[in-house]
Chain A
Amino acid sequence: ETGVTQSPTHLIKTRGQQVTLRCSSQSGHNTVSWYQQALGQGPQFIFQYYREEENGRGNFPPRFSGLQFPNYSSELNVNALELDDSALYLCASSSITDEQFFGPGTRLTVL
């Protein structure tokens, strides 16, 4: 059984650019959640996808968007990057009612 994987591991972008982060969910899981973890903070919920539909969203602007594919993998897209978007982005997969299993994260640096 493979765990949750994320790519890339690290990414450096400049302000105004766009970025796409990818997540492969754990086998058997149909739900993917994305979190932003700023340095020294706890993870903040961005949104969740269940069976390819958005199923809840945190307090993030529309320039944060996502997709879930038929194989339940997922993408997080961020447009018009700002310096404050620098963070560790975590993906977690689960069955809809079970605990979440986290990937190692993508470290995004915006210069």
Chain B
Amino acid sequence: AQSVTQLGSHVSVSEGALVLLRCNYSSSVPPYLFWYVQYPNQGLQLLLKYTSAATLVKGINGFEAEFKKSETSFHLTKPSAHMSDAAEYFCAVRPPGNQFYFGTGTSLTVIP
């Protein structure tokens, strides 16, 4: 069975501080992995994706994520938080096939 676990439903960081959002997945075969961001009353926007190429993936808005197979993790980081980063973040896994499995989300608050 496929699943995604996002540790910490709420994360608060100070403006300029490191952002670390955690994602662990379970999949019987190497999956594709994604991070999406959702702003209030909007759909999901793709931040970055891992598709079995480089394990360190760079995305938009300064975010990056590292695929660690041994830890079944795909944590999202950003060196310096900006106020505009406040949003809901979703990790998703797509094993071979077409269905996406999403985590329950992490709400990021950025404190000025």
Query: Contact residues of A with B, CB < 8 Å?
Result: 4, 31, 33, 35, 40-45, 48, 50, 55-56, 58, 90, 92, 96, 99-105, 107
Contact = CB atoms under 8 A, between A and B. Distances in A.
A43 B102 contact: yes
Interface stretch (B38-46, B64-72, B78-86): B38-46
Interface of B: 4, 34, 36, 41-46, 49, 90, 92, 97-105
B104 A42 contact: yes
Nearest to B42: A104
16 contacts: A40-B104, A41-B105, A42-B4, A42-B92, A45-B100, A48-B99, A56-B97, A56-B99, A90-B43, A100-B46, A100-B100, A102-B44, A103-B43, A104-B41, A105-B43, A107-B41
Contacts of A58: 99
Of the listed residues B4, B49, B90, B102, the one surrounded by the most CB atoms of chain A closer than 10 A to its CB is: B102
Nearest to A105: B43
A45 to B, nearest CB: 5
A2 to B, nearest CB: 14
Contacts of A92: 44
Given A41-B104, A42-B90, A42-B105, A90 B44 contact: yes
B103 A42 contact: yes
B97 A33 contact: no
A99 B98 CA distance: 10
A33 B98 contact: yes
A56 B95 CA distance: 13
A31 B100 CA distance: 13
Given A41-B105, A42-B90, A42-B104, A102 B43 contact: yes
